[in-house]
C-alpha cells in the first residue's frame, strides 16, 4: 500500500510539473519578445557591399534574408515608408578569407570566410533600444578548395548566422 501511494504521488508530481511547464511556456514566446505589440512596421533598407572583395550576390541575398526573418518571425509589416516604427540599415564592411588550423608543416588545414556587417537600428518608438554596431560570422572550408568553389555553400550558412544575430539584437535585446 505504501509503495502504491509513493508511486501515485510521483505520478501526480510529474503530471503537475508538466502542466506547470506547459502553462508557463504558453505565456512566454521568444520570437518578437521585446517588440511592443503596438509597433506595426519595419523598414529594412538594402545593405550595400563596401567590403574590399565584391560578391555581386551578397548584398541582395543578405538583405532579402534579413527582411524574411523579420517578416516570418514577427507581426511587423515590411514597408519602404520613412515613418516606419523600426528602421534598419547598414552595409557589408568585411568579406575576408584567412587561413586557420595551421599544421606542423605550416600549411593551412582549413580556410575561413568571415563576413562583417555594420547595422544601424533605429527604434522610432523607444530610442533607448536603438544601436549602431557590427556583427560578424564565419565558416571554415577545406584548404584544398578555392574560395570560389566553397563560396555558395558558405554564404548561406554565414548569412543565416548574421541575420539571426541581428534579429536577436533587435527583437530580443541581446
In this structure, are 73 and 155 located in the same domain?
Answer: yes
In this structure, are 1 and 42 located in the same domain?
Answer: no
Residues in the chain: 174
Q: Which strands sit side by side in the sheet containing 41-44, from one edge to the other?
A: 77-78, 41-44, 86-102, 108-123, 131-142
Helix boundaries (H) for the chain: 2-27, 58-73, 147-171
In this structure, are 80 and 5 located in the same domain?
Answer: no
In this structure, are 19 and 85 located in the same domain?
Answer: no
In this structure, are 12 and 51 located in the same domain?
Answer: no
Residues of the chain with pLDDT under 70: 1-33, 103-108, 174
In this structure, are 71 and 15 located in the same domain?
Answer: no
In this structure, are 53 and 133 located in the same domain?
Answer: yes
Residue 140, domain extent: 32-171
Q: What does the pLDDT read at residue 17? A: 55
Cα distances (angstroms) measured from residue 11 to each of 1, 6, 7, 18, 36:
15, 9, 6, 11, 40
Residue 12, exposed/middle/buried by CB under 10 A (0-12, 13-18, 19+)?
Answer: exposed
Torsion sign (Cα): 124, 129, 132, 134: negative
Q: Which residues pair with 95 in a beta bridge?
A: 115
In this structure, are 5 and 85 located in the same domain?
Answer: no
In this structure, are 58 and 126 located in the same domain?
Answer: yes
Can you read off the three cell numbers belonging to residue 127? 530610442
Can you read off the three cell numbers belonging to residue 90? 547598414
In this structure, are 21 and 90 located in the same domain?
Answer: no
CATH number of the structural domain spanning residue 133:
3.30.160.150
Number of independent structural domains in the chain: 2
The C-alpha atoms of residue 48 and residue 60 are separated, in whole angstroms, by: 8
In this structure, are 119 and 71 located in the same domain?
Answer: yes
In this structure, are 69 and 80 located in the same domain?
Answer: yes
Amino acid at each position: 500500500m505504501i509503495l502504491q501511494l509513493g508511486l501515485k504521488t510521483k505520478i501526480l508530481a510529474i503530471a503537475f510539473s508538466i502542466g506547470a511547464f506547459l502553462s508557463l511556456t504558453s505565456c512566454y514566446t521568444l520570437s518578437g519578445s521585446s517588440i511592443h505589440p503596438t509597433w506595426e512596421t519595419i523598414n529594412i533598407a538594402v545593405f550595400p557591399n563596401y567590403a574590399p572583395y565584391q560578391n555581386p550576390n551578397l548584398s541582395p541575398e543578405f538583405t532579402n534574408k534579413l527582411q524574411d526573418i523579420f517578416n516570418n518571425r514577427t507581426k511587423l509589416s515590411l514597408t519602404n515608408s520613412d515613418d516606419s516604427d523600426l528602421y534598419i540599415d547598414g552595409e557589408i564592411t568585411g568579406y575576408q578569407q584567412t587561413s586557420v588550423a595551421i599544421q606542423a608543416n605550416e600549411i593551412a588545414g582549413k580556410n575561413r570566410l568571415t563576413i562583417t556587417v555594420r547595422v544601424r537600428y533605429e527604434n522610432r518608438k523607444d530610442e533607448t533600444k536603438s544601436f549602431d554596431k557590427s556583427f560578424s560570422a564565419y565558416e571554415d572550408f577545406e584548404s584544398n578548395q578555392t574560395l570560389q568553389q566553397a563560396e555558395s555553400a558558405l554564404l548561406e550558412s554565414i548569412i543565416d548566422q548574421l541575420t539571426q544575430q541581428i534579429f536577436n539584437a533587435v527583437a530580443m535585446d541581446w
